[in-house]
Structure 1
Amino acid sequence: MGKIARVPVPKLSALLAAAAAGALALSALPSNAAEPVQPVQPAVTTDISSAFTAASAKYDVPREVLVAVGYAESHLEDHGGRPSQSNGYGVMHLVSNNKNPTMSEAAKLTGLPVEKLAKDIPSNIQGAAAVLDSYADSAGLQGDARKDSGRWYEAVARYSHSADGPTARLYTDEVFRIIGAGVQAEGVTVAPTKVTPQRGTYAKVAPLGTRTESSVAAVDYPGAIWNAACSCNYTVGRTKAISAITIHVTQGSYAGTISWFKNSAAQVSAHYVIRSSDGQITQMVAEKDKAWHVGTENPYTVGIEHEGFVDNPSWFTDAMYKSSAALVRNIADRRGIPKDRAHIKGHSEFPNQTHTDPGPNWNWTYYMQLVNGGNPNPPTYNFTTYGSGVRVRATPRLNGTIITELPGPTQVFVTCQVQGDTVTAEGTTNNWWAKLRDQGGYMTNIYISDPNPKLPGVPVC
């Protein structure tokens, strides 16, 4: 994200005073998730699955709805108690800003202090359940109707506190997509649930992305959806020619980021936002105008935000990488920008920055291969267990010969690269390697070198 560190959170003291006596002021909590903050370590291991079950039962919210909201917001990560770009906290993203009061509402409904709601996972889940319960009550959802997940559509849409109807529908449709697909996250499993969303008033709202003649004319990239940021969050025109592209991570959800850029209090924006699940692209600022995303370097850059959080690689999907790379390639070709790492850089790599995005989980090697027209579908090879170790079968070029063994789990996957970092393995040092595909943070950034000195330049797979 760009200038988030400079954004004050409005009237927090008043919100917190109404929330609970003695609660920790959120203004004392960090205002920017990308800043280096010491995370709070829980004293005991949290049973997040039980926390969802308990909150669901206490507030009569379907468990699949509660889990899907949390997964859409955070992939069920609390990020050590650090806030999102819109000042939201925890697995359920309880928020305190000028448009979204879910944190103060949760404090009032549960009687829990804000600090606990922000940093204790079960309390955070309980707070969200209480808020959803209150919204369902306001909508008249009672009795057996509460057991029908599809009837919770409007309550979930209200929970998002989106900037407008189309953005609220974008958010809620994603939650219901997750309900239908099911969730398998660390510690939490929800089976796929067949559900028919009853959109109510949102049935008449055109989904975000419905193209009109004017919206098609507004975008610089043909595949993008036009949804303008608040004019108070960017500058019309530029003072320098575009010569670089900035890669960001939103520190929040796709719909939440779009909503934030439309919020007059944000004082931040980007030209594009990309969704994790399918690579959908929304353009919010015209390239000819200066978005506020990378501080002093705004005048000459185009900013691209990617849905997710820097500390959780599960957000960085292949669909997102491919979509983003196609966009970057298009911008670079139109603007005459070299497609290299000197001109396509992460937020943290520009001068005068305090942010860390896109962080160590962003796969720059694969991404730049895609940007430069490399194979968009790198081959995947299966490691199958033999005896005590994993044996790697070679490419057809090596006639399927087993060429190395290494300890490992029963089945892992590798993505073959052409050329990468210098790696020493199996007694050989070279810069041809295969990288184990990240398993949601498991086996992250593990490389295997070519062990066969007779065939230099041939990856292990």
Structure 2
Amino acid sequence: MRPALILATVTGLVLGVTPASAEPADQARQRDFRAAAAEFGVPESVLLGVSYLESRWDANAGTPSTSAGYGPMHLTDVRTANTGGTHHDEGTEDPRGDDSRPRLDPEPGPPVEQLPKLQTVNNAAALTGVSTEDLRADAKQNIRGGAALLAKYQKEIGAVGDNAADWYGAVARYGGAGDTGSAATFADEVFATINQGVERVTDDGQRVKLAATSVQPNKQQLDKLGLRKSSSDNTECPRTLACEWIPAPYQELPDNDYGNHDKANRPESQEIKYIVIHDTEGQWDGVLKMVQDPTYVSWQYSLRSADGHVAQHVKAKDVAWQAGNWFINAKSIGLEHEGFAKLGTWYTEAMYRSSAKLVRYLAAKYRIPLDRAHIIGHDNVPGTTPATVRGMHWDPGPYWDWAHYFDLLGAPFRSTGNLGLVTIKPDFATNKPAFIGCVKAGEPCTPRGSTSVILHTAPDANSPLLKDPGLRPDGSPGTMEISDHSSRVETGQQYAVAEVRGDWTAIWYLGQKGWFHNPRKAPNAVGGVGFVVTPKQGKATVPVYGRAYPEAAAYPAHITPQALAPLQYTFSAGERYSLGQALQSEYYWATTFDPANHTVVRGKTKYLQIQFGHRIMFVNADDVDVRPSFWR
């Protein structure tokens, strides 16, 4: 060893300076951010803030996001991600789900063109000299690519200096928005994160910290980006969220048909009880084209992945054709998030935050409780009749982070005591079920964090999965296919405890005991207390329903009564299911273009919503008893 090197090493040891090579391995990403910020002249806080809003600093195993973004900096490469497809182009669900009208089978829209904003990886490659492959797969190079883009955007608006406050315009440009409102929403969230500070452990075990720093950004830079002016006029959104009004057409069509939603007067005519979380299974521009097609279907809001931009299409007072179950449609608001459950893609922090702001606003306005009995996924909506169960959609899928989402909603899932209920809550980062079929049938999906917990027929990981006669009418057990939730529970859902054996907990699920691994040191659920539903004494079984419709006597003469069709499941004596809410029986008759003819039919029958399986279902209140969850 040369004398100078010996002296430097000794000096470092004496002064307590840790050589870079000896710094903790779990801080490598922190060092990568620091180095990239210095190399390209970007304030480190800005680089960290932008990355957090895109990916929460995760690497996501080099797989693309819902908008074709890769790595911590969300460099987009739609050609490689191949996130094509159209809105729900798989499945046989009738989105309207109303038996009084002909089945609705909308044609999928045209494939989406590959837009330049979805190819930022090429610009990053040109700026850094790094291949697009390495920019996608190597987190360090990905961070360098993102820093280079930010520096380029800063130069283009003529701003100089290393003061974070002077980087507002570059940050707004990075989000990719085409309008001032959306660009500002993204930049405001980035700078709010910088001011608040945040630290976490990433999906690959890296410890990253953004120290809280007081910054008042120069928002006048937004005018230098050449974006179109936006307005939230006519939208129903919180003030802190830029929304755009892109109406779904209410239009008469040939053959006494009309589309693509129904006029109503909610909540005066009917209470809004649910908010339904969907993903689009299509890219943003194509999905917007489809919702503006009067022959297609509709939903209230769309949310864009890259920057969290929100578009509203249907007023909350009106009924969108979105959930495949007319009872749920008539009592819900639907939010479509740009994403691909089928491909196993991940969702951006920007979109989670916009969605949480919107849901908090809607929940407060319509008095909707912030829990998983009322804030449901499309995959939690039941089939209307036995014939429709199998074709129901299953988005947003097992990679939507319900725990993080409810943290953002201000309603985190916490233990309330081990009193007969459990709330499913695995550790998202380390819970990686071995799903198959994300890209090709039968092939393993890329391992990634999930909110799903798998159920078995016995307290043994090698035992078979449960059976779902609605999804698998041949009687075969569930599988690990990404779309098969025959034997799967999701974070935030509550179930009644049936039995406990060591590290395993059994819950009641579709008329069976479903066992899941639940060790004390790494639990997949937390204890809870509430109310459970069980058959009345003397009843061997009670029917379960996919909709809470009135009895036949409640319908006026001009409206044909809707069939009370029990689903193909068995709810037997001795079983218990968690109570979600009590509901009055209702049917919204809306079969004509003139809303003056629409009628809300209310019956005397009362229903109780229960968490019967992966999906919610309903039972006649007269068939069951309601007990405290700790009752035996």
Q: TM-score range by the shorter chain?
A: 0.5 to 0.7
**Residue matched to 2:175:** 160
Relative to structure 1, the CA distance from residue 160 to residue 348 in structure 2 (aligned partners, 3 Å threshold; closer, same or farther) is same
Asked if structure 1 preserves the Cα contact closer than 8 Å seen for 2:62 and 2:70, the reply is yes
**Residue matched to 1:72:** 53
Asked if structure 1 preserves the Cα contact closer than 8 Å seen for 2:246 and 2:311, the reply is no
Q: 1:246 aligns with which of 269, 276, 279?
A: 276
**Residue matched to 2:154:** 136
Question: Could you say what the CA RMSD is over the residues aligned between the two structures, in angstroms?
Answer: 5.7
Relative to structure 1, the CA distance from residue 304 to residue 108 in structure 2 (aligned partners, 3 Å threshold; closer, same or farther) is same
**Residue matched to 2:588:** none
- How many angstroms apart in 1 are the aligned matches of 2:158 and 2:309? 36
Asked if structure 2 preserves the Cα contact closer than 8 Å seen for 1:135 and 1:155, the reply is yes
Q: Map 1:209-220 onto structure 2 (within 5 A).
A: 215=233, 218-219=234-235
Matched to 1:189, the amino acid is K
Shift of 1:431: 7.1
- How many angstroms apart in 1 are the aligned matches of 2:191 and 2:159? 18
1:150 aligned to 2:165?
yes
Secondary structure at 2:244 match in 1: coil
Secondary structure at 1:163 match in 2: coil
Asked if structure 2 preserves the Cα contact closer than 8 Å seen for 1:55 and 1:129, the reply is yes
- How many angstroms apart in 2 are the aligned matches of 1:418 and 1:159? 36
1:362 aligned to 2:402?
yes
**Residue matched to 2:187:** 172
Q: Which runs of 5+ in 1 are unaligned?
A: 1-43, 252-256, 334-338, 371-375, 383-391, 396-416, 433-441, 451-455
- How many angstroms apart in 2 are the aligned matches of 1:171 and 1:342? 28
**Residue matched to 1:324:** 359
1:181 aligned to 2:206?
no
Shift of 1:182: 1.4
Shift of 1:80: 2.5
1:272 aligned to 2:301?
yes
Matched to 2:65, the amino acid is S
Asked if structure 1 preserves the Cα contact closer than 8 Å seen for 2:495 and 2:507, the reply is yes
- How many angstroms apart in 1 are the aligned matches of 2:498 and 2:129? 55
- How many angstroms apart in 2 are the aligned matches of 1:169 and 1:227? 11
Q: Map 1:302-381 onto structure 2 (within 5 A).
A: 302-305=333-336, 324=359, 327=362, 345-347=377-379, 351=391, 353=393, 355-357=395-397, 359=399, 361-362=401-402
Relative to structure 1, the CA distance from residue 306 to residue 379 in structure 2 (aligned partners, 3 Å threshold; closer, same or farther) is same
**Residue matched to 1:400:** none
Matched to 2:526, the amino acid is Y
Asked if structure 2 preserves the Cα contact closer than 8 Å seen for 1:431 and 1:449, the reply is no
Asked if structure 2 preserves the Cα contact closer than 8 Å seen for 1:150 and 1:196, the reply is yes
Asked if structure 1 preserves the Cα contact closer than 8 Å seen for 2:403 and 2:413, the reply is no
Secondary structure at 1:134 match in 2: helix
**Residue matched to 1:62:** 43
Q: Map 1:25-44 onto structure 2 (within 5 A).
A: none
- How many angstroms apart in 1 are the aligned matches of 2:345 and 2:310? 20
Shift of 1:176: 0.9
Shift of 1:239: 4.8
**Residue matched to 2:115:** 98
- 1:278-330 CA distances to partner (integer Å, 9 max, x unpaired)? xx995511248898977999998842146999868999999976963773696
Pick the structure with more helix per residue. Answer: 1
Pick the structure with greater CA Rg.
2
Asked if structure 2 preserves the Cα contact closer than 8 Å seen for 1:425 and 1:448, the reply is no
Q: 1:421 aligns with which of 486, 496, 500?
A: 496
**Residue matched to 1:284:** 312
Q: TM-score, normalised by structure 1?
A: 0.55
Relative to structure 1, the CA distance from residue 290 to residue 322 in structure 2 (aligned partners, 3 Å threshold; closer, same or farther) is closer
- How many angstroms apart in 1 are the aligned matches of 2:349 and 2:188? 20
- How many angstroms apart in 2 are the aligned matches of 1:319 and 1:129? 24
1:197 aligned to 2:247?
no
Relative to structure 1, the CA distance from residue 56 to residue 195 in structure 2 (aligned partners, 3 Å threshold; closer, same or farther) is same
**Residue matched to 1:403:** none
- 1:56-101 CA distances to partner (integer Å, 9 max, x unpaired)? 1211111111010000111112323332333222211112452514
**Residue matched to 1:113:** 131
Asked if structure 2 preserves the Cα contact closer than 8 Å seen for 1:98 and 1:265, the reply is no
Relative to structure 1, the CA distance from residue 133 to residue 377 in structure 2 (aligned partners, 3 Å threshold; closer, same or farther) is closer
Asked if structure 1 preserves the Cα contact closer than 8 Å seen for 2:53 and 2:190, the reply is yes
Q: Which runs of 5+ in 2 are unaligned?
A: 1-24, 78-113, 202-206, 252-258, 264-271, 292-298, 384-390, 420-491, 509-520, 530-627
Secondary structure at 1:184 match in 2: strand
Q: Map 1:378-393 onto structure 2 (within 5 A).
A: none
- How many angstroms apart in 2 are the aligned matches of 1:318 and 1:165? 18
Secondary structure at 1:248 match in 2: strand
- 1:423-447 CA distances to partner (integer Å, 9 max, x unpaired)? 5448898979xxxxxxxxx967323
Relative to structure 1, the CA distance from residue 236 to residue 106 in structure 2 (aligned partners, 3 Å threshold; closer, same or farther) is farther
Matched to 1:362, the amino acid is W
Relative to structure 1, the CA distance from residue 426 to residue 294 in structure 2 (aligned partners, 3 Å threshold; closer, same or farther) is closer
- How many angstroms apart in 2 are the aligned matches of 1:207 and 1:127? 27
- How many angstroms apart in 2 are the aligned matches of 1:99 and 1:421? 50
- How many angstroms apart in 1 are the aligned matches of 2:128 and 2:321? 38
Relative to structure 1, the CA distance from residue 246 to residue 347 in structure 2 (aligned partners, 3 Å threshold; closer, same or farther) is farther
**Identity over aligned pairs, percent:** 27
Q: TM-score, normalised by structure 2?
A: 0.42
- How many angstroms apart in 2 are the aligned matches of 1:352 and 1:191? 45
Which stretch has the larger CA shift, 219-228 or 159-168? 219-228
Secondary structure at 1:193 match in 2: coil
